[in-house]
Amino acid sequence: MFAFVKTMMVSASLALAWAGSVHAETVSPRRLLEVVDLTSPVISPDGHSVAFRLEQASVVRNSFDVFWYVQAMDGATPPRRVADGGMLLHDSAGVSVPGHAEWSPDGRWIYYRALVDGELAVWRAAADGSGAEPVTHDPADVRDFAVSADGATLKYSVGATRAEVIAAEQAEYDRGIHVDDTVPVGQGGLYRSGNIDGRLETQRFPAGVEGWQRVQLLADVPDQWKAVDLGTGRTRILPSSERPPQPLAISDLSDKLPTPWVVAADSETGRVALLTRVGEAGELLDKPDMELAMLSKAGSTHPIKCQADLCTGKAIRAIQWRPHSDEVLFTVIDRHEAQAQSIFRWHVRTDTVEPVARSAGTLNGGGRYQSGGCGASSDAMVCVVARADRPPRLESIDLATGNRRVLFDPNQALALDMAKTTPSRMIRWTDAKGREFTGQFFPARRMGNGPSPLFVNYYNCRGFLRGGLGDEWPFASLAEQGISALCINTAPYILDAVERYGTGLSAVESAVDLLASEGEIDRARVGMGGLSFGTEVTLWTAMTSDLLAAASVTSIGMSRNYYLLGSMRGDAYFRTLKRFWQLGAPDETPERWKLLSPAAYLDKIKAPILMQMPEQEYVMALDYAIPLIRDRRADLYIFPHEPHQKFQPRHKLAAYERNVDWFRFWLQGYEDPDPAKADQYRVWRDMKSTAARDEP
């Protein structure tokens, strides 16, 4: 394959260089990065206004602009910016945390947490835009809060003080960090190496929690609840009897019920809506179907099930009560329409279901927030709406008629440009075994005769597609530069790792066959990239097929380093490894390790691999990355202080732009003449020359 690609590249390079230099880029990586995201719509008590949060990356400041807005529900006036939302928070995986606001009962204020000047406090903003102010002034960061029913008091919880956390970090620094099963060894630095609550902090794995979630030192300090008198500003410690009720948890329900997946309580009546996975899971991680039901109260053992056609056999993913009604609003994902979402309302007394709204994309947060929801009043919903080639905007939806109104569209200019230059389309196909797949396809802007190269991403294609899950590969920018891009929705999660990866490979192969047979793409010029599970499938495709001409990953494949470092977690880690990869220790299951680890395929990986990895993870990949780098078959970049998903805007832009350069180099033979990129291309040309010499 390398020899063919090399010949094609040389013959096309002059024409491509000319085309690249004269084409004015419309949908640039930076423009995709700086898309405006909208989150957390919440409707005022009188139903006349909606508050929501806006966030936007700034490459110049390497941070995010975060603001709270209020807008009239009739959309007659533009939204009003009422407050600065402080620094954008991210969880330990790098995913930004959606905002949460509460209205005062009289509708005059919105209350929200904000990190300002190093202090995470509760603020309030006047809904008329006249000002915002902090309500809490605590030596510890606020974890949670609630406004009293009469609006006179704000209750909030805190843990260890900021000074105590810093002192604990310094004490470890001075004495040495004692390694146990909570210390994330191998993630780069151990002292103040991860961003939590807006600053670099020393991290720990929380005790008793499986997975790779991280928390700050002293995160296990119990909540202490306090109350602020909003009239006088006086603060007091709350006795346990006065603490606000906590949201209903699954553990609050009767253990005689099948364990539900999602619960939602009606704050007015105490009724509980619940989603429960049902059916036979077989080889799958999850049971295949979802059952929607209602309990008259939390302690009930007799669920009333929704039996209407519109709520059975559906992929229901979100539920909430319609205020002041007997209806549950639920969101359905259409597996046959590339994860398109629809909203319905179920009347729990009559067991009737009515459609509310349908979208070709998402209605729950634009794609960035997979668990985001819509704000709801008794009359309407306010949702963040987006689709593959349409960035987020805010819409109101009348619950009785389904009529929709655009309230706020900050990305309209980009939406119009994408519609003209890089529109996408949903595609559906089956593989040789009859398994159905869906995806979003961005056809290349034609830069000459013949079919285009193709970039493939395999994982999750919901909402607006900047660059796949994790945002690393800018689809529209690639398409504008002459490389078609395809995002494939993953199949249901199969527990057997070989079968799981093989299904992903089959999805990619059958998509390439389809697009090549239609003359859309050149099957000899296919690239692929992915994050997390997308990385695993990309590496598997490179390890077990000759489909790829180039690859790009940001996460790790199964490696002995991963086993060694993860083994400090103990039995929970070993159970996870056994269940999801069918692996024991390398000397216990050596054949399985040979089957799954990239280190066992070093002589079979032919596609060059770009690795743009977070500092938190790269060490786990070195047992196969270093041999590939030394063999001139991989190029590795490490991004400091980044977790599983990079979030710093400059890092994101660097990854975006390098991925465009990488695939243009390997799939088109094009080099950006920017002198700042000379070293990058020197390395890649060396890789290409080495591959050409090794070609039989």
**328 falls within a domain:** yes
Whether 411 has a pLDDT exceeding 50, the answer reads yes
- Res 68: pLDDT: 98
Q: Examine the domain organization and report whether 591 and 609 are in the same domain.
A: no
Residue 626 has pLDDT above 60, yes or no: yes
| CB proximity list for 192: less than 8 A, separation 6 or greater | 169, 200, 201, 202
Q: What distance lies between CA 11 and its chain's CA centroid?
A: 40
Is 316 within 8 Å of 292 (Cβ atoms)?
A: yes
- Considering its fold, how many domains does the chain have in total? 3
The residue type of 165 is V
Instruction: Tell whether 144 is covered by a domain.
Output: no
- Whether 355 and 442 map to the same domain: the answer is no
Q: How much is the pLDDT for 449?
A: 79
Our CA angle for 519, 523, 528, nearest 5°, is 120
pLDDT of residue 475: 98
The stretch 399-419 carries a mean pLDDT of 97
| pLDDT for 366 beyond 50 | yes
Please report whether residue 157 resides in a domain: no
What is the pLDDT at residue 602? 96
Query: Which of 361, 377, 410 finishes a domain?
Result: 410
What pLDDT does 382 receive?
97
Find the distance separating the first CA and the last CA of the chain, reported in whole Å. Answer: 10
Do 501 and 643 share a domain, yes or no? yes
CB contact at 8 A, 631 and 571: no
CA 345 – CA 354 distance, rounded (Å): 5
- Residue 79's nearest CA partner among 58, 50, 113 is 50
Q: What is the pLDDT of residue 6?
A: 36
What is the rounded average pLDDT of the residues 597-601? 97
* Residue 318 DSSP symbol: E
pLDDT tens digit sequence for 129-143: 999 999 999 999 999
Point out the least confidently predicted range of 3-7, 136-140, 446-450, 505-509: 3-7
Residue 265 within a domain = yes
Same domain, 266 and 294: yes
**CATH value at residue 516:** 3.40.50.1820
502-506 LR contacts (CB < 8 Å, sep 24+): 502/540, 503/435, 504/458, 504/537, 504/540, 504/541, 505/537, 505/540, 505/541, 505/544, 505/545, 505/547, 506/431, 506/432, 506/433, 506/435
455 plus 344 within the same structural domain = no
Q: What's the whole-number average pLDDT of the chain?
A: 93
Q: Are residues 575 and 553 in the same domain?
A: no
Q: Which DSSP symbol is given to 485?
A: E
Q: Which of 550, 572, 596 is the last residue of a domain?
A: 596
**Could you report the per-residue pLDDT of 441-472, keeping only the tens digit for each?**
999 987 677 899 999 999 999 999 998 888 99
| 545, part of any domain | yes
Whether the pLDDT of residue 337 is over 90: the answer is: no
Residue 44 pLDDT: 98
86 part of a folded domain: no
Domain range for 326: 248-410
Burial 134-148 (b: 16+ CB within 10 A, else e): ebbebebbbebbbbe
DSSP classification of residue 362? B
Q: So what's the pLDDT on residue 369?
A: 56
253 belongs to a structural domain: yes
CATH number at residue 406: 2.120.10.30
Give the pLDDT of residue 209. Answer: 80
DSSP H stretches of helix in 409-496: 412-421, 475-480
Which residues, other chains included, contact 268 with Cβ-Cβ below 8 Å and sequence gap of 6+? 323, 324
Q: What is the pLDDT of residues 250-296, one digit of tens each?
A: 999 999 999 999 999 999 999 999 999 999 999 999 999 999 999 99
Summarize pLDDT for 70-112 with one digit per residue, the tens.
999 999 999 999 999 999 999 999 999 988 999 999 999 999 9
Does the pLDDT value for residue 12 go beyond 90? no
Burial call 410-436: b when 16+ CB within 10 Å, e when fewer = bbeebbeebeeebebebbebebeeeee
Q: Are residues 260 and 375 in the same domain?
A: yes
Note whether 523 and 652 are same-domain residues: yes
Same domain? For 273 and 388 the reply is: yes
- Shortest CA distance to 409 belongs to which of 69, 20, 68, 78? 78
Encoded tokens for 234? 């006086």
Q: Are residues 539 and 675 in the same domain?
A: yes
Q: Is the pLDDT of residue 370 over 60?
A: no
Place 24 in a pLDDT band, splitting at 50, 70 and 90: low
Give a yes or no: residue 179 inside a domain: no
| pLDDT tens, residue by residue, 176-233 | 999 999 999 988 889 999 888 888 999 999 987 878 899 999 999 999 999 999 999 9
- What average pLDDT score do residues 103-124 get? 97
Q: Report the amino acid identity of residue 585.
A: A
Tokens of 75: 């959309």
Mapped onto helix, strand or coil, the DSSP state of residue 290 is: strand
Looking at the fold, whether 348 and 485 belong to one and the same domain comes out as: no
Contact by Cβ (8 Å): 619, 565: yes
What CA–CA distance (Å, rounded) separates 480 from 419?
A: 12
506 and 422 in one domain? yes
